Structure 1
């Protein structure tokens, strides 16, 4: 007895299509990836301007401004922690494109290519609550702590600023927390720096200190690029920051930190 086996024959075209489909199995679809250029931003830990939060993410006024500005010009912001008094070295060797972290332009206008000012910041003096210092004149003969390579250091060491009396000693520290430690332990009578930074420390320390009513100077803050490098990134950032000042974005970000009255309206022109 013969048994017949019935075979189904598929059209050649369908077989080809199935083969192509099978060959495609397991292959990942490749999509074009656009790599954005980077803007490497150097700053020290300077809350609330530029710092790392409890999750290790960069946060603060200048960080938010940088992220929005970079979004507008098609750059990826890369934040790099640096020793602030070595910022010129980082800029010149190309490790960072710019220094951006509550950086005062005053007296340094010709030292860098500036994008600014975008806001103002009062430089003030802080003392312990039991101190007998109530005005700047009371600093005569006292010991004062400052952060190295900052505006207060320049003013107190120069001793040529009319509003500041002759102090006994000026101690320059690398980090702001070292200033606060020196004041807390009584090694110095006062410390000087940006008001917002001082107020943040007051909030965290339980109001054991007070800030003098008189300011040292109202500084103009900007973003610093090396004069010896390509200026393209600086010009692109200038355009973005000018737009952000004009459309209220800078104002909006500063409001989140209680600094809305510190905006340098019209401070940057394209």
Structure 2
């Protein structure tokens, strides 16, 4: 293991253990036998990838570099390429489904999709999904215009801040960082981050609260236009989300991602997306 990644790996190991404990605690009634569980999972109602051999990936198509529409009009992105490789190695069919992010819970509960793979934050969502092991470090940060004069959280007082609806950043600003948000002139939400950054560039808002990876992507595209505050709203991890109870698929995806890292696929993919803000330094699943 590379020394420069030791801290990242340890952080993700802690998160992974925490996720396993949560899953074990929410795994079902103590009166349910293992044979009953097996029978239930084998019914026609089981739409998991492990049962159907088809991975139906729900993602936000306006979420670069993790999922977006490429120059050729096809869906692409770091997470989508990970998903396609995982499916290929397991002999699964893969179906990429762009979704309205607000509808993700309804879609996964109904079986219209069987996973959420889109820079998906674990923290704060542990009880709502079954997760793979965390694979990427992330944080929630604030981005402003380079010429705004905003250099700290204190400077955000009286400013207009925007974030994506139902995002991890919104959860943090209405939770642990609610006192900070109370100092804003307003906290606004919008459907996608691309539009949020258009509003920031035009001066319609003063700052964007978003994932570190999104900030890195936008700043790499326009380094003279934006700057990121040194302070972070929170630190967290990305993982793949599945319907509660789908441990079979979650475990298989985690195992396959580890194999992909061992044989160099992950590092090569990180390098492919390096100019869009992806860093192998933040990969933490080994």
TM interval, shorter chain, is 0.7 to 0.9
Per the normalisation by structure 2, the TM-score is 0.73
Q: CA deviation at 1:161?
A: 6.0
1:166 to 180, 183, 196: 183
Aligned pairs (5 A) from 1:64-143: 64-143=81-160
Matched residue, 2:240: 223
- Of 257-266 and 236-245, deviating more is 236-245
Q: 1:168 to 1:135 in 2, by over 3 A?
A: same
3-state DSSP of counterpart to 2:134: strand
2:270 to 242, 254, 258: 254
Query: How many angstroms apart in 1 are the aligned matches of 2:83 and 2:261?
Result: 13
Contact 1:159 1:166 in 2 (8 A): no
Q: CA deviation at 1:40?
A: 0.5
Q: CA deviation at 1:248?
A: 4.1
Q: CA deviation at 1:257?
A: 2.0
Q: 1:217 to 1:247 in 2, by over 3 A?
A: farther
Q: 1:206 to 1:242 in 2, by over 3 A?
A: closer
**Matching of residue 62 in structure 1 with residue 79 in structure 2:** yes
- Of 158-167 and 245-254, deviating more is 158-167
- Of 154-163 and 206-215, deviating more is 154-163
3-state DSSP of counterpart to 1:134: coil
- Of 174-183 and 147-156, deviating more is 174-183
Count of residues in correspondence between the two structures: 230
Matched residue, 1:265: 285
3-state DSSP of counterpart to 1:214: strand
**Matching of residue 235 in structure 1 with residue 251 in structure 2:** yes
Matched residue, 2:57: 41
Q: 1:227 to 1:185 in 2, by over 3 A?
A: same
RMSD over aligned CA atoms reads: 2.2
Query: How many angstroms apart in 2 are the aligned matches of 1:137 and 1:245?
Result: 41
Per the normalisation by structure 1, the TM-score is 0.77
Matched residue, 1:50: 67
Query: How many angstroms apart in 2 are the aligned matches of 1:104 and 1:240?
Result: 20
Query: How many angstroms apart in 1 are the aligned matches of 2:150 and 2:216?
Result: 18
Q: CA deviation at 1:140?
A: 2.3
3-state DSSP of counterpart to 1:79: strand
2:172 to 144, 150, 155: 155
Return 5+ residue gaps in structure 1 as ranges: 1-35
Q: Identify the structure with the greater helix proportion.
A: 2
Structure 1, residues 50-74: CA drift from partner, whole Å, max 9, x if none? 1121112222110121111111211
Q: CA deviation at 1:193?
A: 0.9
